[in-house]
């Protein structure tokens, strides 16, 4: 059976070119980048070259980009590191209700440590209100953390304006750009970003590698202490193959950004419009224009998301009901509740995310299959009586 | 796979989906907020369940559990049907992930609710319904030890 | 020029079989293990299979082994996680002066949080005293963390006896087994180990993946919060290729353990004896018998370690002056100072670590080259007047 | 590589290694605890340094810096030699990693110490030695911004 992957927001396949770039670093140039000998110095040199390549894609200097074990670690580091290091300045953190759990659960942990967190509401399209944000700032506020692009509904926040407000009040601004990086052009300087989390496996790079941009001069504590790697800020033998692969993927994404966006937007709109045209009682979630180029998120009334996913999977189509890492949870998505959907509608959500290997035929087949599936499940549903 | 082949079979090809017009008993359990509602219809002749149908709003295993439960009691006596446990439903499905055990409980409870409805309408009593309270909330997601 | 790698304790090449096992998970079975669809479930299944394989090598059940981004993360997690979660029980931690920086710098961070840390001395061969250990335990002691095998001088501690003492006093026992795992047989139950850190890249597996064994029932806080991965204990999309590679390497190491040890011990002794025979004013560090099968650590009087390493490197030989991750530091090794060496001798240290691809010729060539190099550097040294 | 080719060349093939018997001046700086000691011998005729040799216990860049420093002052006048800065040593080596800058400072100081020894023995004064205190600790690892 044909396999159609429409879950690029959960993770992407690693591109062939990326794997090829990584391979020599497993078996040949395998040195520890901290070693003085040739094996080590070769690794060190490619490490710094990779850092530079990635930094360039976000208009940062290499010494502001730190590698981590993924996006979640970067999120944890940014929030815990900045809040703990700036206790003297204040104990207040502002975020939104639709953040990834990497942010939200870190906030819960920080609350247990005595910090105060404001969770901003979003509107029906998933947008944070700039007025509400500004109003939430107190003289205790140290950090604002608002995600660049939401992983479930794809809404993109006005990051630059958020950073402007933060800086106007002398507050630091972190953004979780795990979904945005590689899908929109990011310039940390122009966009007033002080810290930014990114992850390799969302941009056709390897899993288990990510990074945190930290503007120069920011006080931040470590969360992983030990060796002097990453300028004494993140211990652990550097994952050179992962780093090299991440950098290759980042550069490829950056060079191809416009074509990638155009293609994704075309297919996304075709998919979303196609579904909305043929399936009644459906709601297209997220912002109509300010959204991830590949994100489609739709709620189908009267049916439940997991049943939908299983049925799609039986037809070879891989989708998601929202964020991958909360599957197994029985609660509906916190993001869909935050945009004001009632529980029963939120339960019927489907996220289809398009990527570089998606074809027009994939989209057509998906629309067709989805129509059948929704119809079948609705006929089984006690809530459906049309 | 998340589910056994048996679960997937009953999910993809559910038996006894639908409604029974003028059913002798109808039971509905679950909660739309939790994303699961199960409704079971029974037709009774003498003490025998001669037809049973279901409609379910819920996850894959809720649908599979409904299907299996209706299959297990089709043609059985009321007393036999009342003896059905969620454990039997799980066994018949070849197992369910721990987080999905409650879906099988829903099936057991929906069936009991349907028989209770039949019993109430016909002023009958059954041993298997002793102590049964249709308004009790049998639907507690937290009782299962979530392992994943 | 021939390249001779004698720095296996810093990191190992990834074995061909390991890379081959990893490859499909980059480009084909690339799903997010938390996803419901086929791509995800395949990943999930190999994830759990890998966990099981690794757990078996240490005689643990799969649900006690958690993947991390490396050995340093595991060390940080064990110490911070246990101490923070057991504040009610006490605030005292016991460790040794020769731990890896992943432990020592974590201890410093914990001290800043208000915990008390006892750093045990070691004897001239790098051994912790069991009497001193027992005497250090107070009613506030929550955790003892003593490394299994030291990364610089190779000394192996009496882990089982340490665990026994810990348990006798109701104290938890963590061991950093990053250097031991794959080089000695470990049975966490028999050895009274409650928590244990391991790392992939020291056993011919990939970098950027490690793990923490946590015995059932132990209270431990998370250090990376977010998604529900790793049974809610360590967030972040699972690094499936890394995990698969780590598991493959672990199983290979376990199956081949005896032959590996025999070979390493033979070459190690040949190398150490060869050097001690031909170079005067040298001191062989560490324990004569209770040591890493591949570790040779020698101090050469009157010369400095970096000059030695550079000269070796010029002859194609990759060695280390101690721990890789402190290079760049100008201070002599804390381990060598802890075993009582004076600064000037500690500065002249060389660690050569042997691994599966080392040959007898490598060893012979190294002895010969080293003799020349030491002679040349000594003739340049103002301290040498023989 | 950690070091430039120039550094490696001077490290692997150091110029002017050794001692000068009955040297006119000998200077030693560094500290065995820190793992670096540099000793420079000079032979002076008139105001000219006609021979210079060194012995160094230290890292690769310390040896290379000694070698380059001796080469730079060979045949020079004392005043010219006193004008030598660690910056010149670094430039001549094609650069040093920031953490190794202090090795070049050692070379400058060892030379000054040797000339000071010569001056003291011969009761001479040099402009370049004004304010020079041989007992001052010029050896501070912490002054460099460690970047790696
Ligand atoms: C004893 C010991 N502990 C911890 C570590 C850290 O492991 P990793 O580099 O995987 O973070 C190492 C090696 O680097 C080590 O030798
Ligand atoms: C918005 C967002 N933040 C953080 C993460 C976590 O990244 P990682 O899986 O690399 O830890 C993800 C994806 O999993 C994400 O979509
Ligand atoms: S119906 Fe609630 S999870 Fe199955
Ligand atoms: S002599 Fe101290 S590091 Fe070079």
**What's the gap in Å between C234 CA and the centre of ligand 2?**
13
Instruction: Please tell me the total count of domains within chain D.
Output: 1
**Domain assignment of residue B11, yes or no:** yes
| pLDDT tens column, C324-364 | 444 444 678 999 999 999 998 999 999 999 999 999 999 99
For ligand 3, mutation pick of B14, B54, B55, B59 (most atoms within 8 Å of CB): B59
Range C11-30 burial, b when 16+ CB lie within 10 A, else e:
bbbbbeebbebbbebbeebb
A97, A144 Cβ separation under 8 angstroms? no
CATH of the domain at D116: 3.90.1010.10
Can you tell me the distance from the alpha carbon of C251 to that of A110, in angstroms, rounded to the nearest whole number?
39
pLDDT at A174: 98
Can you tell me the distance from the alpha carbon of B102 to that of B61, in angstroms, rounded to the nearest whole number?
9
Can you tell me the distance from the alpha carbon of A42 to that of A36, in angstroms, rounded to the nearest whole number?
10
**Reported confidence tier of residue B31, pLDDT bands at 50, 70, 90:** confident
**Domain assignment of residue D130, yes or no:** no
**Reported confidence tier of residue D138, pLDDT bands at 50, 70, 90:** low
Find out whether the beta carbon of B16 lies less than 6 Å from any atom of ligand 3.
Answer: no
Q: What mean pLDDT value characterizes chain D?
A: 90
- For A55, the token pair is 């930094």
Query: What are the CA-CA distances from residue A107 to residues A113, A249, D90 (Å)?
Result: 10, 30, 49
B114 has pLDDT over 70: yes
The two beta strands, A172-176 and A195-199, are parallel
pLDDT at A14: 98
A138, A127 Cβ separation under 8 angstroms? no
Residue C148: exposure state from Cβ atoms within 10 A (0-12, 13-18, ≥19)? buried
CA dihedral (D33, D35, D39, D40) in degrees, to 10, reads -140
- Residue of B69, B82, B103, B114 marked active site: B103
Of all residues in chain D, the one with the smallest CA distance to C302 is: D57
Tell me which residue in B28, B32, B63 faces A380 most closely, judged by beta carbons. Answer: B63
Per-residue pLDDT of chain A (386 residues), as tens digits, is 889 999 999 999 999 999 999 999 999 999 999 999 999 999 999 999 999 999 999 999 999 999 999 999 999 999 999 999 999 999 999 999 999 999 999 999 999 999 999 999 999 999 999 999 999 999 999 999 999 999 999 999 999 999 999 999 999 999 999 999 999 999 999 999 999 999 999 999 999 999 999 999 999 999 999 999 999 999 999 999 999 999 999 999 999 999 999 999 999 999 999 999 999 999 999 999 999 999 999 999 999 999 999 999 999 999 998 644 444 446 789 999 999 999 989 999 999 999 999 999 999 999 999 999 999 999 999 999 88
**Domain assignment of residue D32, yes or no:** yes
**Domain assignment of residue D132, yes or no:** no
A183 CB-near residues (< 8 Å, 6+ apart): A149, A203, A253, A260, A261, A264, A292, A293, A294
**Domain assignment of residue B146, yes or no:** no
B21 phi, psi to nearest 5 deg? -70, 140
**Domain assignment of residue D133, yes or no:** no
**Residue D128 neighbours by CB distance under 10 Å:** 18
The number of C-alpha atoms within 13 Å of D41 and in the hemisphere containing its C-beta is 15
**Domain assignment of residue D136, yes or no:** no
| pLDDT tens column, C154-178 | 999 999 999 999 999 999 999 999 9
- Range from B58-62, C80-84, C213-217, C284-288 carrying the lowest mean pLDDT: B58-62
Q: Which residues of C are catalytic?
A: 325
Region of residue B104 (phi > 0: left; psi between -120 and 50: alpha; otherwise: beta): alpha
* Signed CA dihedral, C70, C75, C76, C78: sign only: positive
For ligand 2, mutation pick of A68, A71, A97, A239 (most atoms within 8 Å of CB): A71
Q: Is B59 one of the catalytic residues?
A: no
**Reported confidence tier of residue B146, pLDDT bands at 50, 70, 90:** very low
C210, C70 Cβ separation under 8 angstroms? yes
Of all residues in chain A, the one with the smallest CA distance to C76 is: A224
C193, C176 Cβ separation under 8 angstroms? no
A9 CB-near residues (< 8 Å, 6+ apart): A151, A179, A202, A292, A294, A295, A320, A351, A353
| pLDDT tens column, C240-275 | 999 999 999 999 999 999 999 999 999 999 999 999
Q: In chain C, which among 310-369 make CB contacts under 8 A with chain D?
A: 310-311, 314, 328, 330, 332, 343-344, 347
ipTM for the predicted complex comes to 0.93
**Domain assignment of residue D141, yes or no:** no
Q: Which domain holds residue D106?
A: 5-125
Residue where the block lists tokens 């081949």: C256
Chain B touched by A300 (CB under 8 Å): no
Do D and B touch, 3+ Cβ pairs within 8 Å? The answer is no
B148 has pLDDT over 50: no
Output A95 or B147, whichever has higher pLDDT: A95
| pLDDT tens column, B46-81 | 999 999 999 999 999 999 999 999 999 999 999 999
């Amino acid at each position: 059976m044909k396999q159609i992957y429409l879950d690029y927001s959960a993770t992407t396949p690693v591109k062939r070119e990326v794997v090829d770039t990584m391979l020599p670093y497993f078996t040949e140039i395998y040195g520890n980048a901290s070693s003085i000998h040739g094996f080590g110095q070769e690794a060190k040199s490619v490490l710094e070259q990779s850092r530079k390549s990635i930094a360039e894609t976000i208009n940062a200097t290499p010494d502001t980009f730190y590698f981590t074990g993924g996006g979640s670690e970067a999120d944890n580091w940014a929030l815990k590191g900045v809040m703990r290091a700036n206790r003297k300045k204040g104990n207040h953190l502002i975020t939104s209700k639709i953040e990834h759990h990497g942010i939200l659960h870190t906030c819960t942990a920080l609350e247990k440590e005595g910090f105060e967190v404001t969770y901003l509401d979003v509107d029906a399209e998933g947008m944070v209100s700039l007025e509400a944000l500004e109003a939430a700032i107190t003289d205790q506020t140290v950090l604002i953390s608002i995600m660049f692009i939401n992983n479930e509904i794809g809404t993109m926040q006005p990051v630059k304006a958020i950073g402007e407000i933060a800086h106007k009040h002398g507050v630091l601004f972190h953004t979780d750009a795990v979904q945005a990086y590689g899908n929109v052009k990011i310039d940390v300087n122009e966009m007033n970003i002080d810290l930014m989390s990114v992850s390799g496996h969302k941009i056709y790079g390897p899993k288990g590698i990510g990074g945190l941009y930290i503007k120069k001069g920011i006080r931040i504590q470590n969360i992983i202490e030990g060796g002097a790697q990453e300028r004494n800020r993140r211990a652990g033998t550097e994952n050179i193959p992962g780093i090299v692969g991440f950098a290759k993927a980042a550069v490829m994404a950056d060079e191809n950004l416009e074509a990638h966006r155009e293609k994704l937007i075309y297919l996304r709109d075709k998919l979303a419009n196609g579904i909305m045209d043929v399936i009644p009682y459906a709601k297209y979630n997220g912002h109509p224009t300010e959204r991830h180029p590949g994100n489609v998120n739709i709620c189908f009334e009267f049916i439940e998301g997991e049943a939908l996913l299983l049925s799609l999977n039986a037809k070879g189509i891989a989708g998601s009901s929202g964020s991958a890492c909360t599957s197994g949870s029985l609660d509906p998505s916190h993001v869909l509740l935050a945009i004001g959907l009632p529980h029963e509608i939120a339960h019927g959500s489907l996220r289809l995310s398009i990527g570089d290997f998606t074809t027009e035929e994939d989209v057509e087949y998906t629309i067709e299959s989805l129509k059948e599936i929704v119809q079948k499940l609705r006929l089984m549903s006690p809530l459906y009586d049309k | 796979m998340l589910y056994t082949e048996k679960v997937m079979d009953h999910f993809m090809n559910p038996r006894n989906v639908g409604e029974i017009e003028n059913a002798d008993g109808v039971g509905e359990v679950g909660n739309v907020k939790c994303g699961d509602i199960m409704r079971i219809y029974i037709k009774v002749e003498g003490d025998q369940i001669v037809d049973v149908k279901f409609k379910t709003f819920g996850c894959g295993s809720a649908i599979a559990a409904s299907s299996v439960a209706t299959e297990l009691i089709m043609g059985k006596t009321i007393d036999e049907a009342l003896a059905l446990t969620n454990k039997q439903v799980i066994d018949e499905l070849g197992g369910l992930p721990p987080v999905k055990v409650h879906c099988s409980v829903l099936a057991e409870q929906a069936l009991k609710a349907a028989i209770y409805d039949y019993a109430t309408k016909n002023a009958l009593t059954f041993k298997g319904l002793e102590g049964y309270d249709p308004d009790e909330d049998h639907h507690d997601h937290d009782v299962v030890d979530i392992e994943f």
